[in-house]
Structure 1
Amino acid sequence: MGLQFKYAGDQAILVEVGEGIDPHTSGKVRSLAQKVESCSIPGFGEVILGYRSLLVNYDPLIISDDEVIQWLQRWGQEPEVIQRSETRVVEIPTLYGGEWGPDLEDVAAHNGLTPQEVVEIHSGGDYLVYFLGFIPGYPFMGGMSEKIATPRLSSPRVAIPAGSVGIAGKQTGIYPIQSPGGWRLIGRTPLRLYDPNRTPPFLLQAGDRVKFIPINEDEFSEIHESVLQGRYRPVTRGESVEPN
């Protein structure tokens, strides 16, 4: 499938890169996004990533829509270039169940499993961050086992604590800040996924891999205190990240 273009108002173009939700298509989206972001052509603006698409903003007083499409078509035909490390794996320490994961037992019951089996399956996965969205720093991740897939809540919660790890359908994610939401909460991490005073402000980026690491209450408290004091450095393999 070649690039498909759709107008999104008079200052943005939606580029559909592929049809499926998979790592290969995501790589194409990230590669095209980096080419737009690194170009010095006047008129190009912010880009917003999706699972299989890219929203490209532009200034119509500086560059025409035809010119934008021509550049995008040209970049789309070039070899893919991912400037960030494709191998960075970020470990997310997570306290599962109890008040930190109030829906863990429901997820287990829905799938005919024990809570411990859900934890083992969830923490045994390797998750690709496709893009950030919904709220600042929220990672939409793929790769979760269908064995623990569970529908969203019928009635969303008004306030979900920052750091909550949730499941919705075949997806898993982490709430960076307190927010409403309908995902099934199975645990919580003491890490800060979003900090406006940090550079960069987001712990995770599109293209990262995430590994959930089960911890106990004492470890949660210890890491949380270390994060508050600015002493905790996330465990990664590959490219380094800024400390919390």
Structure 2
Amino acid sequence: MSAVAVAVPRVLRVGRDALLCELGSAAGVAALHAELLRRRAAGELGDVREIVPAARTVLLDGVREPAALAARIGGWRVPPLAPADGPLVRVPVRYDGPDLAEVAALWDVPAARVPEIVGGTEFRVAFCGFAPGFGYLTGLPERFHPPRRASPRTSVPAGSLALAGEYAGVYPRSSPGGWQLIGSTDAVLWDPAREPAALFAPGVRVRFVEAGA
């Protein structure tokens, strides 16, 4: 995460009672999301109903006075997110994915080093989407950003640990997908009977540990 305070370059009104904050980076989104949650908890945002981060934006829904709040946010200098901010989840993983050797070749390392690189990275859930319980995780250095597969699979097993570009993720259920599959986990990513239902939520820190280690 950047150590420089984050400015919010654009705040757009969306519909009658929503705002869309546009930022230039995932680090900026994470910092603004955390700041908005803090200010809402302190009662500084009025009755904002939802705060939803995405890849480069944060949406605020249920804003009573959107013009006034937009002007306030546009003048903020948001403190950078500290590395230790947010709860930590440890996820046991088996490095048995069908694309493990291909990812190792892209990284120019032996396949045995992939668990070391992934396990040595502290990820953070940047935002959620695609399917209930699917979190887009950031944290891998740029040199370890593999491309998506040229041909997506028609079915990816639930629990697959996958990489694509700057993101890592775990498929919460079987579905089509074009990410590089490097491992698997038995962790339940989405359980409506659990509180909270999602294991991964924006701002959560994630460590992948080798199962049985």
TM-score, with structure 2 as normaliser: 0.80
1:102-181 to structure 2, matched below 5 A, reads 102-181=98-177
The one-letter amino acid paired with 2:140 is M
Partner of 2:21: 15
1:47 aligned onto 2:51:
yes
Residues 53 and 33 (structure 1), Cα distance of their counterparts in 2 relative to 1, 3 Å cut: farther
Contact 1:35 1:75 in 2 (8 A): no
Contact 1:15 1:53 in 2 (8 A): yes
Find the partner of 2:211 among 209, 215, 224: 215
Gap runs ≥5 in structure 1: 220-244
Partner of 1:227: none
TM-score, with structure 1 as normaliser: 0.71
Residues 89-144 of structure 1: CA deviation (Å, up to 9, x unaligned): 211100012xxx11101111222222111121111111122122221121111111
Partner of 2:90: 91
**Higher Cα Rg, which structure:** 1
Percent identity of paired positions between Structure 1 and Structure 2: 33
Q: RMSD between aligned alpha carbons? A: 2.8
Contact 2:189 2:198 in 1 (8 A): yes
Contact 1:26 1:51 in 2 (8 A): no
Would you say how many aligned residue pairs link Structure 1 and Structure 2? 202
Residues 95 and 20 (structure 1), Cα distance of their counterparts in 2 relative to 1, 3 Å cut: same
Question: Any idea what SS the aligned residue of 2:51 has?
Answer: strand
Residues 173 and 182 (structure 1), Cα distance of their counterparts in 2 relative to 1, 3 Å cut: same
Question: How far did residue 147 of structure 1 move?
Answer: 4.3
Q: Higher helix fraction: Structure 1 or Structure 2?
A: 1
